[in-house]
Amino acid sequence: MTAQEESRDRVLIAGGGPVGFTVAFNLARRGIPFTLLEGGDKIFDDPRAGTIHPPTLEMFSSIGVSDEMMKQGFIVRNYQYRDRREGVVADFDLSILGDVTPFPFRLMLEQHKLCYILRDMLKAYGDHEILMQHQITQVEQDASGVTAHVTTPDGPKTFRGRWMIGCDGGRSQVRKSMSVDFDGFTYPERFLILSTRYDFAQHGYAITNYIADPQEWCALFKVPGNDGNGMWRVVFPTDPEASQEQLFDEASVQARIQGFNPKQGAYDVVHRNLYSVHQRVASSYRDGRLMVAGDAAHINNPLGGMGMNFGVHDAFNLTDKLASIWFDGASHDLLDLYDRQRRTVAQEYLQRQTIENKKNLEQKDPEARARFHDELRAIVADPAKLHPYLMKVAMIEGMARAQSIT
């Protein structure tokens, strides 16, 4: 079928995840027309990101989205660092950040629900399209714009825009069309995520818990779930040689959960998911009229719940600058500033912190593990230490660092 060309003065967005919809909503509010192209047939609701940090809530509050997010999510005022042998090592009280943010807590809200909220709020705006089952296969650019080649239910088409923003994940076709590298590494072990309705709170667990162990660390946290009553997710590392069939085996799954929280009878495991885990950052977030944001620009392990938040921060930063170019005739060099600001903090904070989080949980040397636990206890016991520590892990320090870059 002959390709059809849609030649309009608009922004093309690749990817209908939380970052893509955040970009879309910010553009719509400013009156910038866009077409969002998503390869899937729906917003996927498989267990992925679910933690929203204070600066992200501040951003969404500034555009009138946070109230609905708060209605649907769980507020988390503390989180625990535990050891499978020792129990609670440190309980971190996020309310100490009340002097620097109106949101001194985390919000647990699954990423697909954020997408639904933004999609529904977009209905109040015109001059945009959200096209599902539109898979980008190739992107080209010239002096005046960008052309995306797309497979659709009606055959191949091309879409034309002034700019294109790739929010299309770690395998981003937009990034692959740019002259950039995606340096970093992939962990040999995959992460197994098990979801259950069993209420771990009755055993003293917080809504968010990081549980260290030299043989098998885990992370435990609660999200609202489909009915809003709560679904607990447990994250484990896996043997790189084990097959998915072995890892999903009922006896194996039960042994893992019983291993850190024994109970009478089997756990009701509702979902099993297995993910490869990477630590990578694009060598540039901009190539001419092509930009990347979110997982298309940086991917990391999920410990600390930072990846989606960083992507949302990318989206706000980029759309602010794009609006200045679109309406005020600002220099295209602003997009290089976007690259410098967001790529720098991805390298200095996102990668460093998430790699460190994993290393701390899996630390095998008993003396090093004991020292780290003592450090955590000392931080919790001293407000002068706790405040800067939480500024870092709550992503406030990283935001300030990005804004300082000119």
**SS3 annotation, 128-150:** EEEECCCEEEEEEECCCCEEEEE
- The β-bridge partners of 166 are 14, 292
Q: What is the pLDDT of residues 283-301, one digit of tens each?
A: 999 999 999 999 999 999 9
For residue 5, pLDDT over 70 is answered with no
Domains of the chain by residue range:
4-76+101-185+279-362, 191-276
The pLDDT assigned to 169 comes to 94
Yes or no: say if 402 and 345 are a contact pair by the CB < 8 Å rule: yes
Return the half-sphere exposure (C-beta side, CA atoms, 13 A cut-off) of residue 167.
Answer: 32
The pLDDT assigned to 46 comes to 81
Helices (H), 231-364: 244-248, 250-260, 307-328, 334-345, 352-362
Q: What is the pLDDT of residues 314-334, one digit of tens each?
A: 999 999 999 999 999 999 999
For residue 132, pLDDT over 90 is answered with yes
Q: Which helix (H) or strand (E) element contains residue 107?
A: strand 106-108
What Cα–Cα distance (Å) separates residue 17 from each residue in 114, 129, 251, 261? 9, 15, 34, 34
Quickly state the pLDDT bin for 47 (edges 50, 70, 90): confident
CB atoms within 10 A of CB 197: 14
| Two tokens, residue 155 | 């055959």
The pLDDT assigned to 2 comes to 33
In the chain, the amino acid numbered 350 is L
Q: 131 φ, ψ to 5°?
A: -115, 110
Separation of alpha carbons 69 and 65, rounded Å: 7
Q: What is the pLDDT of residues 83-116, one digit of tens each?
A: 999 999 999 999 999 999 999 999 999 999 999 9
Separation of alpha carbons 225 and 113, rounded Å: 10
Separation of alpha carbons 293 and 342, rounded Å: 9
Q: Which distant-in-sequence residues (6+ apart) come within 8 Å of 257 by Cβ?
A: 194, 196, 234, 267, 269
Separation of alpha carbons 369 and 367, rounded Å: 5
Beta strands in 348-404 (DSSP E): none
Question: CATH assignment of 4-76+101-185+279-362?
Answer: 3.50.50.60
Q: 14 φ, ψ to 5°?
A: -100, 120
| Two tokens, residue 99 | 């002097």
The pLDDT assigned to 8 comes to 66
Helix axes 54-62, 396-404, angle to 10 degrees: 60
**SS3 annotation, 201-244:** HHHCCCCEEEEECCCCCEEEEEECCCCCCCEEEEEEECCCCCCH
Q: In degrees to the nearest 10, what's the CA dihedral of 201, 66, 340, 308? A: 40
Q: What is the pLDDT of residues 354-387, one digit of tens each?
A: 999 999 999 999 999 999 999 999 999 999 999 9
Yes or no: say if 178 and 290 are a contact pair by the CB < 8 Å rule: yes
